[in-house]
């Protein structure tokens, strides 16, 4: 693989987009505008250097303030959204707690599990690698690091849930993943294929869960955990990794993406809950003005040539830059607000800036300066 093809690869969308990235972006942006109207286009694009509060220091309190500002800019009510910045710890704690649910399922010791199919119980008993992997001292450390059990500031006589609802939700999802895995292995008639399924990695080890998480953030509904067990009805969680705190541009990109799930997941927008939900959510953030942050966060150029190239998002740098051009083209058609090429394009990193300008040229059939746009 040549350097150029490798760079093309790391700049490309993370999943295949029907019809190709360019066509998918244009069709999907049109769909989002048809569904949500042109109001998002009537607001100016968000320039990170002008949007981040003065004095941003990378603390969790400063990050929460910035997330609330992103939410407000996107017109999303944030009263029932729980923002946190310890995703890696929540994932690890959730995996440890998920192992206890596997034990409880086999033992039928929780009301929610009673009445499970005997064949499913037998499959978990035979094939699960999590049986007996009950939480250890590390689990207690993680609970403390996630603020669970500390005195609640607003109620000195009570205790703070901290991130326990988020941990419980991850534990339930982890348990379901293991249950499905065991069912698939038990149902496989081919012994060779069954052995392959048994050996497949389906989750990272708990000790490295945070390090191996490829996502900067996660959105989840906290209404329920196990069937019949409510957590925080009406509440959702946006959990971001601690590594995004240092760079407010990456934080804005992550927050605007996860907030997109808040709107799209309960909607009837085609693709909002399917296999294309992640790139569509990237595009939703672009429509709401956060394309500059998305483009500049898409690839950390300083990591090229290192063992781990750091990328962000699902559309990739090239498609995000072209999506930003399509956004600007549609915005200019609505507003007729001076030159087509906006002053803010100068704050884009060099690669996405060049792609943005080139795509604008293509959209209008020639260089904007020549055509008088």
Largest Cα–Cα separation, the chain: 74
Summarised one tens digit per residue, pLDDT across range 253-268 is: 999 999 999 999 999 9
Q: Mean of the pLDDT values across residues 11-35?
A: 94
Summarised one tens digit per residue, pLDDT across range 59-104 is: 999 999 999 999 999 999 999 999 999 999 999 999 999 999 999 9
Return the SS3 of 310.
Answer: coil
**pLDDT computed for residue 209 by the predictor:** 37
Task: Lowest mean pLDDT of 33-47, 153-167, 274-288, 293-307, name the range.
Answer: 153-167
Statement: residue 226 has pLDDT above 90: no
Q: Specify the DSSP element, H or E, that contains 369.
A: helix 368-371
Return the SS3 of 257.
Answer: helix
Residue 213's contacts (CB-CB under 8 Å, 6 or more residues apart) are 87, 88, 91, 204, 241
Summarised one tens digit per residue, pLDDT across range 132-168 is: 876 778 899 999 999 997 655 544 444 578 999 999 9
Statement: residue 126 has pLDDT above 50: yes
**pLDDT computed for residue 367 by the predictor:** 63
Statement: residue 322 has pLDDT above 80: yes
Q: What is the pTM of this model?
A: 0.89
User: Which of the four pLDDT bands, split at 50, 70 and 90, describes residue 308?
Assistant: confident
Distance between CA atoms of residues 285 and 356, nearest Å:
16
User: Which of the four pLDDT bands, split at 50, 70 and 90, describes residue 211?
Assistant: very low
Statement: residue 201 has pLDDT above 70: no
**Sign of the torsion formed by the C-alpha atoms of 91, 292, 69 and 61:** positive
Statement: residue 207 has pLDDT above 60: no
């Amino acid at each position: 693989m040549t350097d150029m093809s490798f760079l093309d690869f790391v700049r490309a969308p993370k999943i295949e987009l029907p019809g190709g990235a360019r066509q998918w972006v244009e069709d999907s942006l049109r769909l989002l505008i048809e569904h949500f109207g042109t109001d998002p286009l009537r607001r100016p694009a968000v320039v990170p250097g002008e949007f981040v509060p003065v004095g941003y220091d990378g603390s969790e309190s400063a990050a929460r303030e910035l997330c609330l500002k992103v939410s407000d800019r996107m017109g999303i009510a944030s009263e029932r959204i729980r923002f946190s910045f310890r995703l890696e710890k929540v994932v690890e704690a959730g995996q440890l707690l998920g192992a206890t649910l596997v034990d409880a399922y086999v033992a039928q010791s929780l009301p929610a599990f009673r009445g499970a199919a005997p064949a499913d119980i037998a499959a978990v008993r035979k094939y699960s690698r999590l049986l007996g992997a009950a939480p250890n001292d590390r689990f207690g450390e993680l609970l403390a690091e996630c603020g669970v059990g500390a005195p609640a500031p607003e109620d000195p006589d009570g205790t703070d849930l901290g991130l326990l609802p988020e941990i419980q939700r991850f534990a339930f999802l982890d348990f379901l993943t293991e249950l499905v895995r065991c069912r698939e292995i038990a149902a496989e008639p081919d012994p060779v294929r069954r052995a392959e399924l048994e050996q497949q990695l389906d989750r990272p080890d708990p000790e490295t869960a945070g390090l191996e998480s490829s996502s900067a953030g996660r959105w989840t509904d906290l209404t329920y955990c196990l069937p019949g067990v409510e957590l925080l009805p009406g509440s959702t969680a946006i959990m971001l990794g601690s590594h995004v705190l240092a760079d407010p541009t990456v934080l804005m990109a992550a927050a605007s993406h996860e907030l997109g799930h808040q709107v799209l997941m309960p909607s009837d927008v085609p693709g909002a809950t399917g296999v294309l939900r992640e790139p569509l959510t990237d595009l939703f953030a672009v429509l709401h003005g956060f394309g500059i942050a998305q483009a500049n966060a898409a690839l950390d150029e300083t990591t090229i040539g290192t063992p781990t190239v750091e990328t962000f998002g699902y559309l990739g740098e090239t498609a995000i830059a072209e999506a930003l051009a399509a956004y600007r083209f549609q915005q200019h058609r609505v507003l007729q607000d001076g030159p087509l090429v906006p002053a803010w394009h100068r704050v884009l990193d060099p690669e996405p800036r060049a792609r943005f300008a080139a795509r604008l040229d293509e959209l209008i059939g020639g260089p904007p300066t020549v055509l008088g746009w």
